[in-house]
């Protein structure tokens, strides 16, 4: 049986997503899905999520990001070009 290939995706989450536990929530969800990558706050008030793993898990994370943790207010989630540089072996908050 063939190993599933890794896919990379990048998301920018807009709304009230900083100061509400969004990065910790994202790390937990991504780790549960077996993904690796990075989540970080950006100066413009958005949250950037860079993730790698099986396509189905990435699709599930994308869907989850639209809701976020209970106190977040997600306005929209944009998919952006994933970076070419290496991502960590686990899912990290930066």
Active site amino acids: 23, 41
Do 52 and 35 touch, CB atoms closer than 8 A? yes
Q: At how many degrees (to 10) do helices 55-65 and 22-32 cross? A: 150
> What is the spatial distance between Cα 13 and Cα 44, in angstroms, rounded to a whole number?
11
In angstroms, rounded to a whole number, what is the distance separating the alpha carbons of residues 41 and 47? 5
């Amino acid at each position: 049986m063939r190993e599933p290939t890794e896919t990379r995706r990048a998301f920018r989450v807009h709304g009230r997503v900083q100061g509400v536990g969004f990065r910790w929530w994202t790390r937990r969800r991504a780790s549960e899905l077996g993904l690796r990558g990075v989540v970080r706050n950006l100066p413009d008030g958005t949250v950037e999520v860079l993730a790698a793993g099986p396509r189905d898990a990435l699709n599930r994370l994308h869907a989850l990001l639209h809701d976020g943790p209970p106190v977040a207010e997600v306005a929209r989630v944009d998919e952006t070009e994933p970076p070419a540089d290496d991502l960590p072996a686990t899912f990290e908050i930066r």
